């Protein structure tokens, strides 16, 4: 697996990530930035759709509330964050893939090359 920038994420993948984080939600709009993806979505709460926002980073999620519109707050739900990180690692978007000395398929890895692990 090779590390991929967040800019390579497709709208289908963004929708899959949103369904992990907020299963009852619908994607309304997204903006892809260099280091993160800002999404706007509706979330049904008691039958009424509420407009919400969040930023998807390679290994974290920041949720915007009515109290923190300028700066998002990190998502604290451990189970959802764990599933999100699993998805990001599996798809290559996690920064865990970046210069990881334990990934044997990386031919640019200095540790493996210097220790004659890659020929």
Domain-embedded: residue 11: yes
Domain-embedded: residue 119: no
Domain-embedded: residue 76: yes
Domain-embedded: residue 1: no
Domain-embedded: residue 90: yes
Adjacent-strand bridge partners of 50: 43
- Report pLDDT digits (tens) over 31-57: 999 889 999 999 876 676 788 899 999
Give the pLDDT score at 113.
47
Domain-embedded: residue 108: yes
Domain-embedded: residue 75: yes
Q: Domain of 61?
A: 6-114
Does the pTM of the predicted model rise above 0.75? yes
Domain-embedded: residue 91: yes
Cα distance between the two ends of the chain: 18
Q: Indicate the number of domains in the chain.
A: 1
Four-residue CA torsion sign, 57, 60, 66, 68? negative
């Amino acid at each position: 697996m090779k590390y991929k920038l967040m800019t390579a994420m497709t709208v289908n993948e963004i929708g899959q990530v949103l369904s992990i984080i907020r299963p009852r939600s619908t994607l309304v709009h997204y903006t892809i930035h260099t280091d993160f993806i800002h999404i706007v979505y509706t979330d049904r709460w008691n039958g009424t759709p509420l407009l919400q926002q969040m930023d998807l980073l390679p290994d974290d999620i920041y949720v915007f509330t009515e109290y923190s519109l300028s700066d998002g707050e990190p998502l604290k739900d451990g189970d959802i964050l764990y599933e999100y990180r699993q998805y990001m690692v599996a798809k290559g978007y996690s920064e865990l893939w970046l210069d990881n000395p334990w990934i044997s398929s990386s031919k640019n890895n200095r540790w493996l090359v210097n220790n004659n692990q890659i020929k």
